[in-house]
Amino acid sequence: MSFRISIASGKGGTGKTLLSVSLAYHLKENEHRKVALVDLDVEEPNSSIFMKGYVTEVIPATRPVPKFDKMLCTNCNACADICMFNALLKAKEHVLIYKNLCHSCNACVRFCPTGALQMADVRIGEVRFMNNPFAIPFVEGVLDIKEEMSAPLIALTKDYSEKKFSNSEFIFYDSPPGTSCSYIEAIKDSDLVLIITEPTPFGMSDSAIAIETALKLNKETAVVINRSVKNSGNVKAFFEEKGCQVIAEIMNDRSVAEAYSRGDLPSESNSGFKSSIKTISDFIFSRSIK
Ligand code: SF4
Ligand code: SF4
C-alpha cells in the first residue's frame, strides 16, 4: 500500500509544484525509494515543466450528465424540483441542462417517470501518462478549456494513477490551490497533507483555511514555509496556534527563484534548498512508518 502525500496550499504560487517535484526526485535519486508523482492541479498542471515530461499515453476523461428526450417528456416538472444544484431548467416543453452546474448525482434521471432523461458521458479533459529523464512514474490530469468542474477529473486521475503505480511506496499529489471541492477531492485519501505557505498575510491566512479544512477531514497536516526570512518565529507561532507543526523552512534565495524560472530543480545546485528537502523527506519517512 502506497503512502500518499498531498502537497497543497491555500493560495496559488507558493511553491507546491516545486516542492512536489523536488520531493519525488529526492526520494528516488537520494533515498532510492519507489515514488510516483501525480499532478492534480488539473486547471493548470505544470509539474511536467520540471519533470521535462513527454506524453506516452492519453486517456480521455468523461463524466455523466443527463440527456433530454423531448418525445418522452410529459412536462411533469419532477426533474427541476429534485435538482438541488439548479442545473436543470424546465422551460415550456423543454428541459435545459446546464452541464457546468450538474454534479452527476443522477437524481433527475431516477425521478423522471417516463425515461425522458438518461445519463450520457461527456468529455471533460484527459489523463496523460508521461515518461521523463528522471524515470519517475508521472501522470497529469488536464481539464478541457471551458470546463468548470475539476473534481471529477481529479478523481479519475487518481484512480488511473493508483492502478498504474500500485507498487510505489510513496505517491505525491501536486494538489490544486484553494479550499474548494477540488482541494478536498485531492486530499481526501491522503495519509499526509503538507501545506506550503509563504510568510505574507495573504499566504498565511489562506493556508490557515487549508489547514482547518484538512484537520476537519482528520488528515495529518504539517506546514512548510517557503521564501522564509530570518526571525520567522511569529510565522511559526501563527501555524502552531492553528494546531499545525512547521516542519521546515525554505529560505528566500534568489538562486532558487532563478532555477525555478528556468524550469530546473534547485536541489541540484542549492545546498540550503537540498537540506530543507531532506528535512521534509525525513519527516515523511517518520510518518509513513507510524
Ligand atoms: S444529475 Fe443531479 S445535478 Fe445533474 S441535473 Fe440531474 S439532478 Fe441536477
Ligand atoms: S421529470 Fe421527465 S417527464 Fe418530467 S419534466 Fe422532467 S424530463 Fe419531462
Q: What is the pLDDT of residues 191-206, one digit of tens each?
A: 999 999 999 999 999 9
Which CA distances in Å does 235 have to 195, 200, 201, 207? 14, 9, 10, 12
Residue 85 Cβ inside 6 Å of ligand 1? The answer reads yes
- Answer whether 3-52+133-288 and 62-123 agree in fold: no
Residue from 68, 69, 71, 73 whose mutation best tests the ligand 2 pocket (most atoms within 8 A of CB): 73
Say which residue the cell 475539476 belongs to.
150
Architecture of domain 62-123: 2-Layer Sandwich (3.30)
Tell me if residue 286 falls in helix, strand or coil: helix
For residue 285, name the pLDDT band (cuts at 50, 70, 90): very high
Residue from 72, 88, 114 whose mutation best tests the ligand 2 pocket (most atoms within 8 A of CB): 114
Separation of 78 CA from ligand 1 center, angstroms? 12
Q: How far apart, in Å, do the first and last CA atoms of the chain sit?
A: 14
Separation of 104 CA from ligand 2 center, angstroms? 17
Q: Which ligand 2 atom is nearest residue 69's CA?
A: 7
Instruction: Write down the CATH number for the domain with range 3-52+133-288.
Output: 3.40.50.300
Note whether 196 and 224 are within 8 A (CB).
yes
Note whether 199 and 238 are within 8 A (CB).
no
Domains of the chain, by residue range, sit at 3-52+133-288, 62-123
For residue 270, name the pLDDT band (cuts at 50, 70, 90): confident
Lowest mean pLDDT of 106-110, 233-237, 279-283, name the range. Answer: 233-237
User: Average per-residue pLDDT in the chain?
Assistant: 93
Note whether 18 and 46 are within 8 A (CB).
no
Q: Which ligand 1 atom is nearest residue 105's CA?
A: 2
pLDDT at residue 232 tops 80: no
Say which residue the cell 411533469 belongs to.
76
pLDDT at residue 53 tops 90: no
pLDDT at 267: 76
pLDDT at residue 162 tops 80: yes
pLDDT at residue 290 tops 80: no
Q: Which residues contact 11 (CB under 8 A, 6 or more apart)?
A: 177, 178, 202, 203, 206, 207
For residue 260, name the pLDDT band (cuts at 50, 70, 90): confident
For residue 155, name the pLDDT band (cuts at 50, 70, 90): very high
Separation of 119 CA from ligand 2 center, angstroms? 14
| Mean pLDDT of the 81-110 span | 94
